[in-house]
Structure formats: C-alpha cells, structure tokens
Amino acid sequence: MTFNILEQDSFIPSYYVALPPKSTRWVITDIHGSYKTFKQLLKKIGLHKSDQLFLLGDYIDKGANDKKVLKRILKLIDEGYQVYPLRGNHEERLIRAHHKTYSPELLRLPYAGKNRGIINKCRNIKPKYLPLLSALPYYYELDHFFLVHAGFDFSYSEPFTDYDSMLWLKKMNYHPEKAKEKTIIYGHHIDSLGNIKKSIKNRDKIIALDNGCVYKSQKGYGNLLALNLDTFFLVVQPNIET
C-alpha cells in the first residue's frame, strides 16, 4: 500500500519506512520555493510510482513559488507516488504562526510577500495546505539511514524525542551507538557542491545535502540535489528560476 501522509489518523512524529521491492529511493532537501528547478529535477531523475521520494523539509520561503512547490507535492501524493515529506524549520515557523503559538521576541513571523498563495491576510495557512503542513513528521528511519531536516543532538539522552534539534540544530556530532550505525542524511546546513560530493564519495556517516539552491550567483552553490540512497548516485540540477 502506498504511504500517504494525508491519510494518517493523527500526527506521528516519525515513521519507519521499509524498502519495497524494485524501488529506487531518492532524497531531496531545501527546495525553498524553487518550483521550476524542483520540477526539472524530478524529470531528470525519472521518478516512477514504484520509487520512494523523501523530501527533507523547507519547501517554502526564499524562493518565489512556495504555492507551486506545495501544489506539486500534493499532486504527486494524489497521483499515487510514494512521497515522504518531512518538516523543516520554515514549515514549523509557519505552523506556529498559524496557531499563534509563538513569542514575538523569539519567533519571527513570515513577512509580507512571503508564502504568497498559501496564507491569507491574517497569516493563517489556507485549508488546502494545512493538512499537509500539519502532518509533516520530524524524521524517517530506514534500513540503513535516518533522514532528518537539521540533525540529531546526540548529547541529549533521548535524541529521537528532541524535535527542536531536528529542525534547528546548528552542528551535529555523530554517535555510532545512538545512531544504530546508520547513515544520517540531512538538509538545513548549506554546504558547497564539492564538499557534498566528497562526503558522498567517502560514504560519510553524516551527509548534508543542501547546496543552497536559491544562491545561484555564488560559485559552488545554487543547485538542487537528489541522492539515490541505494547507489549513492547524485543528480545535480542548477537553479533555473527566473
């Protein structure tokens, strides 16, 4: 049965996702409203309904097409693709603004012009997008991987219940025992394409996959990446937003 985050009865912070037969597993992170680039990357990897597509959060902000990115994700889910989206800190901030569970001193609300098309004048999330954004889990566990937006704080006694770190952590130190010897793939932390490729080639136990898609004017950055978890083949799509 195809996993559908919108069909869950209640919010669950994490899921274990098994590997189905004859499936390719792809990971993409930090799209940030770069709809055209996201669409072209999906075309480049040749996504099939038998594949699993893991999205590690931050679909919104910075870029110009938040609405189209979310609509594309919803369309893929509706068409029966196996899409596994995670929560990023930008989605979390928007959700908190929607529910007004924030302190103005600690939480910067999305400014005017951001999130155009997915929030109303009162800065509430429109009904079409609220179920998706509200249901986003914090991490996925796979056979040999953990997938998360920002990382895990392994200095914490129970790192898999520290959800704030999964969204906001600035630096992650790997702990083999607590991580069950699994490789951690994450976004949030922008790194150069050269460093990312080196990390993948070396099969590092923690791999950052955010190349700062929106920063296309900076050398070594400005690409949206898709990593094949089974072959460690990296597909690079330069930012084509106008």
Residue 186 has a pLDDT of: 98
Model's pTM, two decimal places?
0.92
CATH code of the domain made up of 24-238: 3.60.21.10
Q: Give residue 68's region: left, alpha or beta (phi > 0; psi -120 to 50).
A: alpha
Identify the pLDDT of residue 114: 63
Q: What is the mean pLDDT of each run of 10 residues along the chain (242 residues)?
A: 65 88 93 97 96 96 92 96 96 86 49 68 85 94 97 97 97 97 98 98 98 95 98 98 91
The domains of the chain are located at: 24-238
**Residues sharing a CB contact under 8 Å with residue 95, sequence separation 6 or more, in sequence order:** 125, 133, 134
Among 96, 216, 103, 231, smallest CA distance to 167 is for 96
> What pLDDT was estimated at residue 20?
81
Which residues does 113 contact at the CB level (< 8 Å), separation at least 6? none
Confidence at residue 117, expressed as pLDDT on a 0 to 100 scale: 86
Structure confidence at residue 3 (pLDDT): 60
Residue 26, pLDDT score? 98
So what's the pLDDT on residue 107? 44
Tell me the chain's radius of gyration from C-alpha atoms: 17
pLDDT of residue 214: 95
